[in-house]
Amino acid sequence: MNSENSDINKDYRNHLVIKMGGSTLGASDTTFDDLAELQLLGAVPVVVHGGGNLISEWVKRAGIEAEFVRGLRVTDNFTLENAVAVLSGLVNKQLVAALAFRGARAVGISGVDGYLFQSEILDSELGYVGGIPKVDKYIVDQVISSGSIPVIAPIALKYPMERMDNIIGHNILNVNGDSSSGALAAAVKASQLIFLTDVEGVMDESGRLIELMTEEKVNDLLESGVASGGMIPKLEAAIHALPYVEKVNIVDGRKPKAIINCYQGKNIGTTITRR
């Protein structure tokens, strides 16, 4: 299955792919109000969410400390089961309920549903972790056509899939939410890709906010090592998406009206353009 199957002469110019970082989930912000308002303004928000902090909490309850290699979570069988439960279950449905409370119709799905995300194992050392997924956007189109906001948990079908002896098996992979957001934004050719995080935006080597960046500047930051930690996958996702989207925003999602301000083109956080 691939995204070509769902290209039905759709206009994606008013689509926004919004990544809600796990570190901002539950913060006292206006994110859900903003998403509901976007619908009223005629925009089409598509949400991808994180939840890594909660996964770590669940695993820790079992007496197991989260393990990371090169900044990426090692996902063994137990961690994968917890990731699937937390991301596609608890967090996903809490977000859908929060939107429903504000009068916004939303449908919670995961990257496993409808072949949405398909990924190969990134590195055997990381376990059940997938790389940048291929996207079949058919199910996203169907949710949008129903007048609903897609709310997507970042797990993926393993590719190629294998025959399993039990119903659970291991044909599911944990995938990075930032990478998934970039791939999805590219697939639907969204007008904007917005990352909601817990920092002001992208910082230079002196710790000052970079308000406007081009793709060339992003590459410089990555190559020089100035960008670090969780900012790296966001910038890599931006590069992946930029040939297809008009701009990428990286903003502090805890600030009031962060999404609306991005949508209206106001100067907030970091804006990344092709040139």
Element (H, E) at 18: strand 15-20
Average pLDDT over residues 155-161: 93
Specify which residues 174 forms β-bridges with: 129, 155
Q: How far apart are CA 208 and CA 121, in angstroms?
A: 36
The per-residue pLDDT for range 66-110, each reduced to its tens digit, is 888 866 788 999 999 999 999 999 999 999 999 999 999 999 999
What confidence tier does 127 reach under pLDDT thresholds 50, 70, 90?
very high
Q: How far apart are CA 36 and CA 244, in angstroms?
A: 25
Q: How far apart are CA 94 and CA 99, in angstroms?
A: 9
Q: How many CB atoms lie within 10 A of CB 67?
A: 14
Say if residue 5's pLDDT is above 60: no
pLDDT cut 70: percent of the chain above it = 90
Q: How far apart are CA 30 and CA 115, in angstroms?
A: 32
Burial state string for 111-146 with b = 16 or more CB within 10 A and e = fewer than 16: bbbbbbbbbeebeeebbbbbbbbbbbbbbbbebbee
Element (H, E) at 273: strand 270-273
**Domain covering 11-273, topology:** Carbamate kinase (3.40.1160)
The pLDDT of residue 162 is: 82
Burial degree of 9 (CB within 10 A; 0-12, 13-18, 19+): exposed
Residue 272 in 3-state DSSP? strand
Specify which residues 16 forms β-bridges with: 45, 192
Element (H, E) at 14: none
Strands 117-119 and 134-135: antiparallel
Say if residue 3's pLDDT is above 60: no
